[in-house]
């Protein structure tokens, strides 16, 4: 059985009773895969996190941290940016 070690493990097996919200709280990092009991998801390695401020966009955050805008959008699911949103950096 796989267990999650926040820094070392790239895969996580979904335990009985876990739903999408509990998985998000547990790993606190972006992931890829379908959530179902016994399923395995891939925890994406992120370079860090940034909390968005008023006026931030994907382009401005990518320039600030010298990263690719497309990779930043993909890692964050291309969701809208609003103040206090946590953005994962590649």
Regarding pTM above 0.85, the answer is no
CA distance linking residue 77 with residue 8, whole number of Å: 23
Mean per-residue pLDDT, 34-46: 77
Mean per-residue pLDDT, 66-71: 88
Regarding predicted confidence, which is higher, 28 or 65?
A: 65
Is 5 strand, coil or helix? coil
In a domain, 56, yes or no: yes
Question: Does residue 28 contact residue 7 with C-beta atoms inside 8 Å?
Answer: no
In a domain, 3, yes or no: no
What domain range includes position 26? Answer: 11-43
Judgement on whether residues 55 and 82 belong to the same structural domain of the protein: yes
In a domain, 57, yes or no: yes
Judgement on whether residues 52 and 68 belong to the same structural domain of the protein: yes
């Amino acid at each position: 059985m796989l267990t999650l070690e926040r820094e070392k493990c790239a895969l996580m097996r979904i335990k009985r009773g876990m739903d999408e919200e509990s998985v998000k709280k547990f790993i606190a990092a972006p992931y890829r895969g379908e959530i179902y009991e016994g399923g395995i998801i891939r925890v994406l390695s992120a370079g860090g996190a940034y909390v968005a401020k008023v006026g931030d966009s994907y382009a401005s955050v990518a320039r600030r941290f010298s990263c690719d805008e497309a990779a930043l959008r993909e890692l964050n699911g291309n969701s809208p940016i609003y103040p206090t949103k946590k953005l994962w950096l590649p």
